A and B are shown apart, each in its own frame.
Chain A
Amino acid sequence: MTSVAVGDETAMRRIGVTVNGTLQAGEVSVRLTLADFLRQDLKLTGTHLGCEHGVCGACTILLDGRAVRACLLLAVQVDGHSVTTVEGLAPSATVLHPLQEAFCAHHGLQCGFCTPGMLTTLVEFLKDCPDPSAEEVRVAISGNICRCTGYDSIVEATLSAAANMRDGS
C-alpha cells in the first residue's frame, strides 16, 4: 500500500482497519483523509467526494456502524476500527441489499453520484428506525444532497426497502 503524499514521509503512520469485513493494513500520511484512503489506497472508489467540507454527504460511510462523513476523518483516526463502504453493502455479487434493490426499482438514482452516501446513511437509519414515516426518511437524508432526483423516489425506495426488511426479519 502506498501513501499519496510523498513529501512528508516523516508524518507517516501504520494503521490497520477492517474495511467491509477485511483487515487492511498500511502506511499512510497522517493528513490523508479517510475518503482518500478508501478511494486511492484501497481502490474503493464507490465513496464519492462531492464537496470535501462535510455538507453534501456523498462520502458517507459507516464507522463502527455509524454513518459519518469520510471527508471529515483522517485515515489515522480509524486505526483499529471498522469501516463499511457502499461496496460492502450487498451480501454477494448476485444479491443486493434491500435498499439497493429498492433504489433500482423506484428510480432512486439517476447519475448515481450521491447514491453511495444515501445508501450508507439509510442503512444505519433503518437499523435505528425500521418502520419510518416518509417525513422521518426525509430528515434522515437531509444531510445528503441529490441534484438529480428531487428526492421523492429515494423516499419511496426507502419506505419500500424498510417494508421488505421488516417482512424479511
Chain B
Amino acid sequence: MTASGFPNSRVIGHDVARVEDEALIRGVGRFVDDIVLPGMLHVAFVRSPHAHAAILGIDPSGALGMPGVHAVLTLADLAPHLTDTRLVVAMPSPSYRQQLHRPVLADREVVHVGEPIAAVLADSRYLAEDAAALVDVDYDVLPVVADCVAALEPGSPTAHRDASSNLVAEMTVEYGDVAAAFAAAPHRFRERLWIHRGGSHSMECRGLVAVHDVLEDRLTVWSSTQMPHAAHRLLCDIMGLGERQIRVVTPDVGGGFGPKLIFYPEDVVVAVAARLLGRPVKWIEDRREHFVATTQERDQYWDVELATDDAGRVLGVRGLLVHDHGAWTARGVNVPQGAVAAMPLAYVVPAYSMAIKAAATNKVPVTPVRGAGQPQGVFAMERLLDSAARALGLDRAEIRRRNLVPAERMPYATPMRTRGGIPVVLDSGDYPRCQQMALDRADWAGFTARQQAARAEGRYIGIGLANYVEGTGRGPYEHVSVRIEPSGRIFVATGAAAMGQSTQTMLAQIVAEQLGADMSNIRVVTGDTAAAPLGIGGSNSRQAVLAGNSAHAAAIRVRERVLEAASQMLEVAAADLEIEGQRVRLKGAEEVGLTLSQVARAAAGQAGFSLPGQAGPGLAASEELVIDAMSYANGSAVVEVEVDIGTGAITIRNLVFAHDCGRALHPRIVDGQLMGGIAHGIGNALYEFMAYDENAQPVTTTLAEYLLVTATEMPPVTILHMESPTPLNPLGIKGVGEAGVIPIGAAVASAVEHALSSFGVRVNRLPLSPVDLLGLLNAATA
C-alpha cells in the first residue's frame, strides 16, 4: 500500500524502516530484565495460595535465616515509609457503592490467589524463591465468592469479610424513551449471554528495577509499564517524595495490551525496598505470577433485549450487564462502561438503556485488556441483530445495512457521553460501504452455493459478520517536544510510552516529514519522566492520535524557526528555503544552504549578539495539543468457518477485515496492529479461557493450559482499508491499536451458529471450545 492518505508526503504514509528494529533484531534491545546493576538484589513475592483468608500472622524467620537473604518486607515494614498503605487509583465515577483500594501488601486479609503478602530480597532470584517458601503465613480460610452473578444474590458470602455486599458499582447508561419504544415495538428479541475474556499475556511479563542514588537523593525506576508518568505521580504521592526525587523510565517493553497501564503493589514495594536497603532491587514477574497477579478481563453476563419494527429497524435496546470486577478496584469501572458504550455505537439506536452491576469476586482485579470491554458490547449487539434477522427472515448483512449509521449523517451526534462527560459524536466514515467491502471480498453472496457443496460432502460451513465502531484517541493531550541539538541531530521526547507498537517510528516519521525527511537523524525518547515533564501514556488506542498530532504541531513550529533563522542568515526569503536531510537549502540552488547544525548553533545565541530571525532562541518546541473529542474508527469482519460435528472443532477458513482508521501513517504498521488484534480476537473466540474452580482457585496457570493462538491456528486473513480522515486532528488519523480484536468474537459466533443452523444451535457464549460446541450440538440433537 502506498501513501494514499498523505499524497505529497515523503515520510509519513510510507512503509519506512522501523527505528526500533536495529537493536531488537540483533537481540541487543534493553528490556527491564536486561538491566543489571552492581549489588542488585532480587525479589520473590510471598503470595496467597487462598482465594479468601484472614491472615493471622506472618513469620519471616525461616527465610531470614537463609544465606544470601537480605530482608523480608511486609506491610508493617513498609508502612512507616508510605503516606498511604493503599493504592488509591480508581478513576472517578459516581457509580461506586464501595471503595476497594488495594493494599500495598496484604496484612490482615487476602482476597485472591496470588495477592502479595511479603517480599523476599536475596542475592539471586533462585535464593529469593527458596526463602519465600520458608515465610510462614498463618491463614484462616474464609468463604469464597467465585462467580459474579452468584456474588449479587442475597445471602452470598462477601469477597471482603467486612463488606456488607459484593456490589462494587452500579449505573445505567441510557437515553431516549426505552419503555415507550419497547411498548410500541412489533418485535422484541432477547438474549442471555456469557462472555469471557482472559489475560493480556504480553510475551514479556511485568518487571521493575529500582536504584536509589543517595548523592542526588533520586530514585530511578525502570518499569515495564504503559504509563510511566502515572507511575511517577503515584510513586511520588505514596512515598511522599518530590517530583525530582523519582524518575520512572520505560526501557524496551515486550508488549502491553492493557494491564501494564495499571499501577501495582509490586511497583511500590520494589521502589521502597531500593531506598530502604540502599541497594538496587529487581523484580521480574514470572509467567505463573502473571496469571495470578496481573490484572485481566473475565466474565460478563448480559441479559439484553432488542426492539425492532417490521423492517428490522432498531427501535430500542435495553438490558443488564453483570460484570466480574475482581477483588479490588485497580482502575475503575471502565471495562463495563466501555462495553456498554460500544454496544450501540455502529447503529442508529433511538432509545437505549443498559444497566451495569459490577460485582466483587475473590479473583484478580479486572482492568482493560486490548479492546477494553468493546468486544463484549459488540458481541451483545451483533448477537441480537442475528437473532432479529433470523426471526424476521432478513439476511444478516441486510439488517445491519438498514441500521448502520449512514455516511450522509456524518458527523453523527449520538445522545451518549464518554466516561469523562464528553459528547460522543461519530466524526467520519461510511460504515455501510465498509461492510459492503468486507462482504464483497468474502463473497458473502456466493456463500450459499459453497455451503450446499460442503453439505453434499457432509461438511458444515458457515459465514458470519460483525461491525464495530471504536472510540480512539482518548484525550486530553500527550506531550511531545522536538529540539534540534547543536550537532544538528533532532531529539524528540514524549510522554507517550512504547510497548511494541512502533511509537518511536511513528513520531520519527511525523517529525522527519517536517525536518529533512531523514529518519536516521532523529532520536525519539519515549516513557522517561526526566525527558518529558508531562505525559499520560499508552492506552485507548490514543498515542498516534495524541502524541502524533503534538509531534506534528511541534515539528511544524521548529521548522518555522529553522526557516526563519536560516532566511536571516542566508538573506533569502524563508519561503524559498527547504530542509533536506541535515541541510537547509535554497530551492533550485541546492549549493546555497546551511547545515541544521549551523542554524542550531546560531539560534542558540552568543552573549552580546543578536539572534538570527525573529523567532526567539533555540530550535525547539513542545506541544500538548488538546483533543478532547474522541475520533471514531470503524470496521467490519466477515468470518467463514467449518465445524467438525464429530469433534466440535471450529476451523476458520477465511477472515476478511475491512476497516477505517482515517489516514494511515505507516500502512504496514497499521496492518501489523490489526493482525495482532485479530489473532487476539481469535484467541478470545476459540481458545483463551482463564478458568477458576468453585473455590476461585485459578486452574489455567501455565501457557500449556491457557491457550494463546499460534501460527498454525491463524486463518487466511485479508485486511481492506478505507480512509476517512477525521476532522478532529490535523493529521486526520484515528487509533488502531485495539480495533482488530473487537469484532472477531461476534463474527465467529455468527458464523458458527450459521454453520449449525440445520441443528438449531444458538451461540450465546464466548469462548467456544470444542467441548462447548459438542455440548450444544448434543443438546440440540437430543
Q: Do A and B have CB atoms closer than 8 angstroms in the complex?
A: yes
- The residues of A with any CB-CB pair to B shorter than 8 Å are 4-7, 29, 31-32, 39-40, 43-53, 55-56, 58, 85-87, 89-90, 96, 100, 103-105, 107, 109-116, 119, 137-139, 141-155
Interfacial chain B residues near A100, Cβ < 8 Å: 25-26
- Whether A113 lies near B678 (C-beta < 8 A) is no
- Whether B203 lies near A107 (C-beta < 8 A) is no
Please judge, given known A-B contacts A4-B125, A6-B67, A150-B679, whether A51 and B712 are in contact too, CB under 8 Å.
no
Asked whether any CB of chain A lies closer than 8 Å to the CB of B395, the reply is no
- The residues of B with any CB-CB pair to A shorter than 8 Å are 15, 17-18, 20-21, 24-31, 33-34, 36, 66-68, 123-127, 130, 200-205, 252-255, 257, 286-287, 499-502, 668-669, 671-672, 674-680, 702-704, 708, 710-712, 714, 717, 740
Given contacts A45-B30, A46-B28, 14 further A-B contacts (CB under 8 A): A6-B123, A6-B124, A45-B27, A48-B31, A100-B26, A110-B255, A111-B24, A111-B253, A112-B21, A138-B712, A139-B711, A145-B203, A150-B674, A150-B677
How many whole Å from B322's CB to the nearest CB in chain A? 29
- Whether A141 lies near B27 (C-beta < 8 A) is no
- Whether B711 lies near A112 (C-beta < 8 A) is no
- Whether B68 lies near A6 (C-beta < 8 A) is yes
9 residue pairs, one from A and one from B, having the closest CB atoms: A46-B27, A111-B500, A112-B24, A150-B675, A113-B254, A86-B27, A45-B34, A150-B679, A55-B703
Of A7, A50, A86, the residue contacting B203 (CB under 8 A) is A50
Q: Roughly how many angstroms separate A109 CA and B500 CA in the complex, as a whole number?
A: 9
- Whether B710 lies near A149 (C-beta < 8 A) is no
- Whether A147 lies near B203 (C-beta < 8 A) is yes
- Whether B27 lies near A44 (C-beta < 8 A) is yes
Please judge, given known A-B contacts A4-B125, A111-B254, A153-B672, whether A52 and B286 are in contact too, CB under 8 Å.
yes
Q: Roughly how many angstroms separate A147 CA and B409 CA in the complex, as a whole number?
A: 38
Q: Roughly how many angstroms separate A115 CA and B130 CA in the complex, as a whole number?
A: 31
How many whole Å from A123's CB to the nearest CB in chain B? 13
Of B17, B30, B200, B676, the residue contacting A150 (CB under 8 A) is B676
Q: Roughly how many angstroms separate A114 CA and B17 CA in the complex, as a whole number?
A: 19
- Whether B203 lies near A96 (C-beta < 8 A) is no
- Whether B67 lies near A142 (C-beta < 8 A) is no
Of A45, A51, A138, the residue contacting B33 (CB under 8 A) is A45
Give the A-B pair count, Cβ closer than 8 A. Answer: 197
Q: Which chain B residue has the least Cβ–Cβ distance from A141? A: B711
- Whether B26 lies near A147 (C-beta < 8 A) is no
Please judge, given known A-B contacts A149-B672, A150-B714, whether A7 and B68 are in contact too, CB under 8 Å.
yes
Q: Roughly how many angstroms separate A154 CA and B21 CA in the complex, as a whole number?
A: 14
- Whether B714 lies near A138 (C-beta < 8 A) is yes
How many whole Å from B115's CB to the nearest CB in chain A? 22
Interfacial chain A residues near B671, Cβ < 8 Å: 107, 153
Please judge, given known A-B contacts A150-B717, A151-B711, A151-B714, whether A109 and B25 are in contact too, CB under 8 Å.
yes
Interfacial chain A residues near B130, Cβ < 8 Å: 7
Interfacial chain A residues near B254, Cβ < 8 Å: 48, 50, 111-113
Interfacial chain A residues near B717, Cβ < 8 Å: 150, 152
Q: Roughly how many angstroms separate A150 CA and B255 CA in the complex, as a whole number?
A: 13
- Whether A147 lies near B17 (C-beta < 8 A) is no
Q: Roughly how many angstroms separate A31 CA and B500 CA in the complex, as a whole number?
A: 33
Interfacial chain B residues near A147, Cβ < 8 Å: 200-203, 255, 257, 676, 679-680, 708
- Whether B27 lies near A4 (C-beta < 8 A) is no
Q: Roughly how many angstroms separate A44 CA and B29 CA in the complex, as a whole number?
A: 11
- Whether B669 lies near A111 (C-beta < 8 A) is no
Q: Which chain B residue has the least Cβ–Cβ distance from A110? A: B500
Interfacial chain B residues near A6, Cβ < 8 Å: 67-68, 123-124, 127
How many whole Å from A38's CB to the nearest CB in chain B? 10
Please judge, given known A-B contacts A48-B204, A155-B711, whether A149 and B676 are in contact too, CB under 8 Å.
yes
Interfacial chain B residues near A48, Cβ < 8 Å: 31, 33, 203-204, 254
- Whether A31 lies near B126 (C-beta < 8 A) is yes
- Whether B704 lies near A152 (C-beta < 8 A) is no
Interfacial chain B residues near A96, Cβ < 8 Å: 25-26
Q: Which chain A residue has the least Cβ–Cβ distance from B253? A: A111
Q: Roughly how many angstroms separate A113 CA and B17 CA in the complex, as a whole number?
A: 18
Q: Which chain B residue has the least Cβ–Cβ distance from A137? A: B711
Q: List 19 A-B contacts (CB under 8 A).
A: A6-B123, A7-B123, A45-B34, A49-B286, A55-B703, A107-B15, A107-B669, A107-B672, A110-B255, A111-B24, A115-B25, A116-B27, A142-B710, A144-B711, A145-B710, A146-B203, A147-B257, A150-B678, A150-B740
Interfacial chain A residues near B204, Cβ < 8 Å: 48, 50, 111, 113
Interfacial chain A residues near B25, Cβ < 8 Å: 96, 100, 103-104, 109, 112, 115, 119
Please judge, given known A-B contacts A48-B31, A52-B287, whether A149 and B36 are in contact too, CB under 8 Å.
no
Q: Which chain B residue has the least Cβ–Cβ distance from A140? A: B711
How many whole Å from B270's CB to the nearest CB in chain A? 18
- Whether A51 lies near B287 (C-beta < 8 A) is yes
Q: Roughly how many angstroms separate A111 CA and B669 CA in the complex, as a whole number?
A: 12
Interfacial chain A residues near B740, Cβ < 8 Å: 150
- Whether B255 lies near A148 (C-beta < 8 A) is yes
- Whether A113 lies near B124 (C-beta < 8 A) is no
Please judge, given known A-B contacts A46-B28, A56-B703, whether A114 and B203 are in contact too, CB under 8 Å.
yes
- Whether B500 lies near A148 (C-beta < 8 A) is yes
How many whole Å from A137's CB to the nearest CB in chain B? 7
Q: Roughly how many angstroms separate A105 CA and B702 CA in the complex, as a whole number?
A: 33
- Whether A104 lies near B18 (C-beta < 8 A) is yes
Q: Roughly how many angstroms separate A43 CA and B712 CA in the complex, as a whole number?
A: 33
- Whether B286 lies near A29 (C-beta < 8 A) is no
- Whether B711 lies near A111 (C-beta < 8 A) is no
- Whether B67 lies near A85 (C-beta < 8 A) is no
Interfacial chain A residues near B286, Cβ < 8 Å: 49, 52
Q: Roughly how many angstroms separate A7 CA and B65 CA in the complex, as a whole number?
A: 11
Interfacial chain A residues near B714, Cβ < 8 Å: 138, 150-152
Q: Roughly how many angstroms separate A105 CA and B668 CA in the complex, as a whole number?
A: 10
Q: Roughly how many angstroms separate A151 CA and B20 CA in the complex, as a whole number?
A: 18
Interfacial chain B residues near A55, Cβ < 8 Å: 702-704
Q: Which chain A residue has the least Cβ–Cβ distance from B42? A: A4
Interfacial chain A residues near B36, Cβ < 8 Å: 40, 43
Interfacial chain A residues near B677, Cβ < 8 Å: 150
Q: Roughly how many angstroms separate A29 CA and B21 CA in the complex, as a whole number?
A: 35
- Whether B24 lies near A109 (C-beta < 8 A) is yes
